Structure 1
Amino acid sequence: MMRQYELVERVQKYKPDADVALLNKAYVYAMQKHGRQKRASGDPYISHPLEVAAILTDLHLDESTIAVALLHDTIEDTSATRAEIDAFFGEEIGNLVEGLTKIKRLDLVSRKAQQAENLRKLLLSVADDVRVLLVKLADRLHNMRTLYYMRPDKRRRISEETMDIYAPLAGRMGMQDMREELEDLAFQYINSEAYQTIRGKLNDLSDQNHVLVKHIEDELHALLLENGMDDAKVKGRQKKPYSIFNKMQSKSLSFEQLSDVYGFRILVGDVAECYRALGIVHTRWRTVPDRFKDYISNPKQNGYQSLHTTIVGPSRQRIELQIRTRDMHEIAEYGIAAHALYKEGRTHAGDVVSDESSVFSWFRKTIEALAEGDNPEEFLEHTKLELFQDQVFCFTPKGKLIALPKDATPIDFAYAVHTNVGDTCVGAKVNGRTMPLVTRLNNGDEVEIIRSGIQVPPPAWEEIVVTGKARAAIRRATRAAIRKQYSGLGYRILDRAFKRAGKEFSREVLETVLYRLGQKDVEDVIAAVGRNELSSNDVLRAVYPDHKDERVTVKPNTEEGWVSLPSGEGMAFRLPEHDGKIDDMRHFMPLRGLSEGAVVRFAPAGAVPGDRIVGIAEEDDSITIYPIQSPILQHFDDEPNRWIDVRWDIDSTNEKRFRVRVGTSVLNEPGALAKISEKIATLDVNIRAIKMEVVADDFAQVVMDLEVWDLRQLNQTIHQLKLLDCVATVARLFE
């Protein structure tokens, strides 16, 4: 266990004028508060905050942050209070310790909503002071280093949480070394077999190739010396097991097929030397196409800068190279922790972004956008989408740089520009060419969004986009469109119900009873009625508690297929009973794939030309035809010998209609069924059977067996029925 004086010495090495009294006071306070507490390993608990503080000294953080590391568990696990921390150490340190206390436990697996809400607290705390995250990451790193002493189930849960949240956050903050260690520590508990296998192969490879790595280092260094770059430094390194595993999975490669297990870095003095070194290397060795990235002219949003290239180098080995200045290297290794803001008295060269507003403002803006999510689970999902992916950099026609996650589409680009641009997007030009909205964007693409004032984003876009902002905006727009649709229907239902009761209806009368109805606003009430989540009678009674409905309501009587409805509320028809198989087609067989004379029947819900269909052989040697979407087919999954490949054989001279079943939810009002029947008749569709059942005060369920020519006519019928003001929903039924 690290000693108090050792910690102080570590801080003084990089900050000779450090406030030693503050560090000693924090250590003594933490030691007294944790007392005889033990960790799962049996070590004194104080060893944990000491090791967390030691990790932060490796990042050369100021003494206030080191003191917070020593104190970070005191409020959570001891009798210490925020007021006491403020009194001893000041409000700034008190704020940081309390911020860490609020987000102490993140449970990814068992309490997802609570975990998501705690993640929101973490990121919002980070937006105020990034040191909260730095201490939290160091805390998690030490916990992962000592995870062996926990129960196996807790090891896996904590490792999954680390892999999903903390490692990507470290990467997004530019702390690449910490990210790699967190990933490797988590990987060995999440997939220990794969970890041990890759670790063994890397050890074997290291024994074989250490001479080759040294040879490549020496040859690169000699080349740079020949060209007058005397202070250039070259260093080779073996990639980590999780990085190797990730590449094997994403590229579907075996370990033996990997050609870039080793990477090399060239460190030089300034930006001009970075490009000079690149030219020297490219002049000597052939480059691998499409493997060059310039993160100096286009830095990553976390401040990372380097030139990346891949060459076929000495011994014809494929070599990945990173070329950067020493200041860039410090930023690349320590990320935001290397920032001058947290190292008093230190500055960086002008070629490295050193203004906190430039390096960190993107993180603040992203968090603010994510915090607008409608619920914690969406926040968690959007955060992962927004923060935890590799990036591509695209441009607007005016040259504005837009950073997006890998595999982003023009839709993501549109929403990154502005939510309104995304909502009204109807097309896109990529590099001057009109391209589909599902196109995956690449680095350097110029994207122009084509807009329409009447566009509403389709719900299907949610499956296309990859950014949290786009997905959240599409969901909001979809909910708003659905709400608008149901609001109109709900308003008419309520207006009719109030008039029937002799009352005047308006939105204003609902405002005073929102708490009774459990809704946030008036529009939510109206939309809930339209969706049949709230009955008009419940709303009426909420507004007028003394009102009594004098209508007689009769419970549905489904005996022999009949439905009895309340007087004056509608009509009922018998829906013929089936034996499970209808429409014997012995004499008319518009199908291919069947033997001559086969007895063919269609399933009860029918099938129409245009459907993908399948035949199922029955015990009596007949064949039943089902649409491929029919849920009944799952019962035959274990009997592949009964499946028959059949196809439609219909031409333009066909004069036979085909049965299909459709279900609708309609307003329970006089004339509704007549409107539906009239619309169906105008579409040249025949109603063969119909059944209507009142399922709520305001709605009735209508099931119809229709006869149509083909799938196109069926889809047109469903679309036209949806447009009727008395219809809430329409869907084809498959059973």
Structure 2
Amino acid sequence: MNLTAPTSTIEFVIPEWLRECLNTRHLSHKSDASHEAPGEADLICRAFEFAYSLHEGQYRASGEPYIIHPVAVAGLLRDLGGGSAMIAAGFLHDIVEDTDVTSEELEQRFGKEVRLLVEGVTKLSKFNFSSKTERQAENFRRMFLAMAQDIRVIVVKLADRLHNMRTLEYLPDQKRRQIALETREIFAPLANRLGIGRFKWELEDLSFKYLEPESYREIQELVAEKRADREARLTKIAESLKHRLQQVGIPYNEISGRPKHLYGILQKMQRQQKGYNEIYDVAAIRIIVNTNDECYRALAVVHDMFRPIPGRFKDYIGLPKPNRYQSLHTVVIGPSGKPLEVQIRTLEMHHIAEYGIAAHWKYKETGNSHHQMTPTDEKFTWLRQLLDWQSDLKDAQEYLEHIKDGLFDGDVYVFTPNGDVVSLSRGATPVDFAYRIHTEIGNHCAGARVNERMVTLDTLLKNGDIVEILTQKNSRPSLDWLNFVVTPGARNRIRQWYKRSNREENIARGREMLERELGKNGLEALLKSAPMQTAAERCNYHSVEDLLAALGYGEITLNLVLNRLREAVKVQQSIAKASEGWGGIDPQALPLLPAPTKAPPLLPSSKSPIIGVEGLLYHVAGCCTPVPGEPIIGVVTRGSRGISIHRQGCPNVEPVPGDRLVPVNWNSTDHDSGRPQTYPVDIQIEVIDRVGVLKDILSRLTDNNINVRNAQVKTYPDQTAMIDLGIDIRDHEQLERTFTQIKKLSDVLNLRRLNQVEG
């Protein structure tokens, strides 16, 4: 927005609805009548006057007075049937962001409800959905949480976005394209999910106009060119339908032709791979009647007058869309021999199709309590799913992919044996259905019946299928299921089962081994202590749980774990402090090694990457491959290789006598470009085998500017896969950050740093 444009020559004209509101408030001051309606008018008028005074002197990029924008947003919300608090929020939605007014002052003037709405919209305005992956994912999470608290927040934001799109031409081209792309990918699908058809269609067409201007103009001209013929044909068909409905005694409210919006025509052309001249149903006949029964009777009349095309009938009355849209759709052969789409609905269904969730406010209830809609409402099952994914999917890229898929309305509706309707993503299978019903049903799924016939678990479900899941107590998920399930919930629960099943048993076994050696008293505190975490890292494991799992399945010995733990204990300056911190563990159970050799102080003037070996021949040991940021120790080799640099705690250093140990440290001030800036590290990743998992891991490494020297993948039928990678790391901080990002991937079960035995 531009708040500093030159003084505008455009005059602000108060719209008629607002003028009436101001007059109502004025008259109410002279009347002793009920103050309920005037009270609402008073809130709206005070919000307008406050916004007008604060935005005075501010201008948009178009040169218009800025107040035109909040007035337009408030008008859109009024048309949707929003209450006084919602309309007031439309006037005030930019106040906190663009002026010195605080949220507290807003609450004092207009109440808590208006404040919360304005705060919610202000937060949404700061979200950037075209930023880097991690930040973009976080913005989505916050947006859906805001929607969950009060759905009106996103409706105000949609009205704000719609008016901004109507005036987008005044912004620079790059900014226009960025906003238009964000609108098409995020806000138009949100409007669709909320059922606000009139917002969705206009947002899509405006985005189309700025993202693909040539295609937009072409379709616009083609539609305009054939408008006269189309309107004449539709008028003739509408008159025939009116006459027939009157004959059979079916009252109707409206029968009219409806041209499809331009972006919808483009999508149909792309979906069917046809040119505009080959798309016949660019307009539809809409019949609006009074009752559900009359809808089906009118359908019979249509099918009697025109030949229906098989497979092109959809009953959204019996099976409403998740956004509550209801209507009968049928495609017939019209009088000219061309396909014609006919939509039949009641007046209430038409209001819901136009206003979506806002029809709940505009035509149904009174009072303000009904506005506070949350994901517990049945009509928001899709929002509950989006919220569930926030906890299920930790990886930002995967979360974004599922969110953008989940926003688009491409559902298939199937039935349970009891007749309950279940909505699934298109392409869903019986396994997706099983996990939607309950996690345990999915985990023990052994087979499925669809329409009373046994089918394979990868069978694609179709609208109207009746699905029955067969379970067995000993059945378990198969890794092959990941190759065909499409719902994020099913995919994530299969992964979780594999992550938990064997891993939890191994962790428990590792704990038992430590308990037998150290005793039960204080073990919990010990496992959570800093020395235990240090011991895990020195054994090349990212966490204590990873260490316990490796101990449980025999990848590491108990003796080595205890040795690393002894060293970590010695690093503590006081045995008493260590004992107290562990809740009573006897330090004598962990015999201490000699104190580690003190590293030399850093010398800022030194050009060597390692302090303590200046002028000497040295090399980084391949057995533990230390990197800057990790404690190190030098070992004088017996051959001609000089000093070998190891990580402190490396098992190869244990038998070395003290007179061969050299105190060393990393030089954090090394700026010698001739020295190596990266260090080799070998890692091993256990993953659930699926197509693209290696690509996902490599992309995380690329994001962190990490070079991959070599990669080896080992796979086995219906088992986890092992990926060995050789990477080049700058320092310990980069290694830790990379480990954290890779472990967030849903398919990663375990990640460890490897030791390469030095020859």
For this structure pair, what is the TM-score category when the shorter chain's length is used for normalisation? 0.5 to 0.7
Provide the rounded CA distance (Å) in 2 between the counterparts of 1:270 and 1:521. 63
Candidates 447, 457, 464, aligned match of 2:477? 457
2:630 is matched with none
Alpha-carbon distance, 1:318 to partner:
1.0
Unaligned runs of 5+ in 2: 1-10, 25-35, 573-591, 598-618, 626-638, 640-649, 655-694, 696-709, 715-725, 729-750, 755-759
Provide the rounded CA distance (Å) in 2 between the counterparts of 1:95 and 1:262. 42
Provide the rounded CA distance (Å) in 2 between the counterparts of 1:219 and 1:174. 31
Pair 1:373 & 2:399 matched: no
1:406 is matched with 426
Could you say what secondary structure the match of 1:316 adopts? coil
Cα separation, partners in 2 of 1:463 and 1:195, compared to 1, 3 Å: farther
Q: Aligned letter for 2:527?
A: L
Cα separation, partners in 2 of 1:566 and 1:268, compared to 1, 3 Å: closer
Provide the rounded CA distance (Å) in 1 between the counterparts of 2:753 and 2:455. 34
2:529 is matched with 512
Pair 1:263 & 2:284 matched: yes
Provide the rounded CA distance (Å) in 2 between the counterparts of 1:257 and 1:408. 31
1:26 is matched with 47
Cα separation, partners in 2 of 1:502 and 1:33, compared to 1, 3 Å: same
- 1:424·1:451 contact (CA, 8 Å) conserved in 2? yes
Deviations 1:97-148 (A, max 9, x none): 1111222233222233223222222222222222112101101111111222
1:384 is matched with 404
Tell me which moved more, 255-264 or 201-210. Answer: 201-210
Candidates 178, 186, 198, aligned match of 2:199? 178
TM normalised by structure 2 equals 0.66
1:469 is matched with 489
Number of aligned residue pairs: 567
Provide the rounded CA distance (Å) in 1 between the counterparts of 2:205 and 2:308. 30
Q: Aligned letter for 2:73?
A: V
Cα separation, partners in 2 of 1:544 and 1:8, compared to 1, 3 Å: farther
2:75 is matched with 54
Candidates 415, 418, 438, aligned match of 1:418? 438
Alpha-carbon distance, 1:522 to partner:
4.7
1:707 is matched with none
Alpha-carbon distance, 1:216 to partner:
1.9
2:330 is matched with 309
- 1:177·1:334 contact (CA, 8 Å) conserved in 2? yes
Cα separation, partners in 2 of 1:128 and 1:477, compared to 1, 3 Å: same
Alpha-carbon distance, 1:410 to partner:
1.5
Alpha-carbon distance, 1:53 to partner:
0.9
TM normalised by structure 1 equals 0.67
- 1:219·1:314 contact (CA, 8 Å) conserved in 2? no
Identity %: 38
1:166 is matched with 187
Alpha-carbon distance, 1:304 to partner:
1.8
1:528-539 alignment, distance < 5 Å: none
Provide the rounded CA distance (Å) in 2 between the counterparts of 1:36 and 1:145. 22
Tell me which moved more, 213-222 or 83-92. Answer: 213-222
Provide the rounded CA distance (Å) in 1 between the counterparts of 2:382 and 2:348. 22
Could you say what secondary structure the match of 1:235 adopts? strand
Alpha-carbon distance, 1:298 to partner:
2.4
Pair 1:428 & 2:438 matched: no
- 1:395·1:446 contact (CA, 8 Å) conserved in 2? yes
Could you say what secondary structure the match of 1:264 adopts? strand
Alpha-carbon distance, 1:364 to partner:
5.4
Candidates 534, 540, 555, aligned match of 2:621? 555
Could you say what secondary structure the match of 1:308 adopts? strand
Alpha-carbon distance, 1:524 to partner:
5.1
2:18 is matched with 8
Provide the rounded CA distance (Å) in 1 between the counterparts of 2:363 and 2:235. 36
Provide the rounded CA distance (Å) in 2 between the counterparts of 1:508 and 1:346. 55
2:571 is matched with 545
Could you say what secondary structure the match of 1:314 adopts? coil
Alpha-carbon distance, 1:287 to partner:
1.0
Deviations 1:509-564 (A, max 9, x none): 2212278779998535545899999x9677665455356599999934999xxxxx
Deviations 1:461-494 (A, max 9, x none): 44523323223333433443574487589879x9
Q: Aligned letter for 1:153?
A: Q
Cα separation, partners in 2 of 1:264 and 1:503, compared to 1, 3 Å: closer
Pair 1:446 & 2:466 matched: yes
Provide the rounded CA distance (Å) in 2 between the counterparts of 1:155 and 1:503. 65
Candidates 402, 412, 415, aligned match of 1:395? 415
Deviations 1:409-457 (A, max 9, x none): 2122112111222233233221122222222211110111123444443
1:238-257 alignment, distance < 5 Å: 238-257=259-278
- 2:450·2:466 contact (CA, 8 Å) conserved in 1? yes
- 1:410·1:441 contact (CA, 8 Å) conserved in 2? yes
Deviations 1:271-307 (A, max 9, x none): 2211111111112221111222222222223322211
Candidates 340, 346, 356, aligned match of 1:325? 346
Cα separation, partners in 2 of 1:103 and 1:344, compared to 1, 3 Å: same
- 1:11·1:63 contact (CA, 8 Å) conserved in 2? no
Candidates 305, 309, 315, aligned match of 1:294? 315
- 1:301·1:359 contact (CA, 8 Å) conserved in 2? no
Provide the rounded CA distance (Å) in 2 between the counterparts of 1:462 and 1:664. 19
Candidates 545, 549, 552, aligned match of 1:523? 545
Provide the rounded CA distance (Å) in 2 between the counterparts of 1:199 and 1:5. 30
Alpha-carbon distance, 1:243 to partner:
1.0
1:678 is matched with none
- 1:415·1:422 contact (CA, 8 Å) conserved in 2? yes
2:673 is matched with none
- 1:371·1:379 contact (CA, 8 Å) conserved in 2? yes
Could you say what secondary structure the match of 1:372 adopts? helix
Deviations 1:384-426 (A, max 9, x none): 3334222221111122211122222212211211122223323
Could you say what secondary structure the match of 1:339 adopts? helix
1:669-708 alignment, distance < 5 Å: none
Q: Aligned letter for 1:95?
A: L
Pair 1:362 & 2:381 matched: yes
Could you say what secondary structure the match of 1:320 adopts? strand
- 1:393·1:403 contact (CA, 8 Å) conserved in 2? yes
Deviations 1:64-84 (A, max 9, x none): 111011111111222111111
Provide the rounded CA distance (Å) in 1 between the counterparts of 2:432 and 2:357. 27
1:212 is matched with 233
Could you say what secondary structure the match of 2:322 adopts? coil
Alpha-carbon distance, 1:92 to partner:
1.0
Tell me which moved more, 263-272 or 382-391. Answer: 382-391
Unaligned runs of 5+ in 1: 348-353, 560-564, 570-630, 632-660, 666-692, 696-726, 731-735
1:464-613 alignment, distance < 5 Å: 464-481=484-501, 483-484=503-504, 487=507, 508-513=525-530, 522-523=544-545, 526=548, 541-542=567-568, 545=571, 548=593, 555-556=621-622
